[in-house]
Amino acid sequence: MLSINYRDSRPIYEQIADSLREQIAKKLLLPDEKLPSVREMASELSINPNTIQRAIRKLEQEGYLYTVAGRGTFVASIAQEESPRRKELLQRFDQLVSELYVYGVTEEELIERMKKGDKNV
């Protein structure tokens, strides 16, 4: 389910949050699906439970997860259009496109690259 790359410069909790966020976006984790417990995930990855808890807290703040006391942590019902991550990526994309235009990249080149990228998904 989750994996950690110790060579990645990002903190482990961010890697975990990114992995869970991606699984939710790809619908590998469905709305209202219960996640394994913090201890189970920590044991599986051989890391401190506080690291898992930090990733979960981050995703709760972003609206991807919710916790029910005594029951566990569940995937929230978040529309992809309302996803904070989607908004963040689109904002970064807009900034990148603006910069590419400065360097003479044409709209046709951008469209062609987007079509190629879509096939790799």
Angstrom distance (rounded) from CA 54 to CA 57: 5
Rounded to an integer, what distance in angstroms lies between the CA atom of residue 14 and that of residue 107? 34
Report pLDDT for 1.
73
The overall average pLDDT reported for the chain is 89
d(CA 25, CA 80): 7
Q: What is the pTM of this model?
A: 0.68
Q: How far apart are CA 61 and CA 103, in angstroms?
A: 37
Residues 56 and 10 sit within 8 Å (Cβ to Cβ): no
- Higher-pLDDT residue of 118 and 61 is 61
Structural domains for the chain:
12-78 (1.10.10.10), 81-119 (no CATH)
% of the chain residues with pLDDT over 70? 93
pLDDT digits (tens, 9 = 90+) for 48-99: 999 999 999 999 998 899 999 999 999 998 755 566 777 888 899 999 999 9
Per cent of the chain over pLDDT 90 is 70
